[in-house]
Amino acid sequence: MKSRQQGWYGAPPRKTYPQPSGLNRGIDFLIDAHWTPEQALAVVELLDDLRNRIWNHYQSSLFELLRQNIQTECRRHRHA
């Protein structure tokens, strides 16, 4: 079984990068390190399209949620 100090099959653990979501645990998602520039661009364009469609559909709800989050952070900093 894998330990926290060791990667799969005894390999050193992979470096983790901060996520915008703040998540620091979960399922690893490996990305091929040898994509062509064209493949990488296709994925970036797909993600941009997905983000735009989600934003357009949920725009007013997202604005409200972001506003609430900002207000909460402001209150937290004032009382810190």
pLDDT by residue for the chain (80 residues), tens only, comes to: 444 445 555 666 667 677 778 887 777 778 889 999 999 999 999 999 999 999 999 999 999 999 999 999 998 888 87
**Closest C-alpha among 44, 14, 42 to residue 29:** 14
- pTM of the full predicted structure? 0.57
Predicted pLDDT at 9: 59
Predicted pLDDT at 44: 96
Query: Sign of dihedral through CA atoms 74, 75, 79, 80?
Result: negative
Tokens of 54: 């989600």
Distance CA 38, CA 25 (A): 30
Distance CA 25, CA 51 (A): 23
Tokens of 30: 């490996």
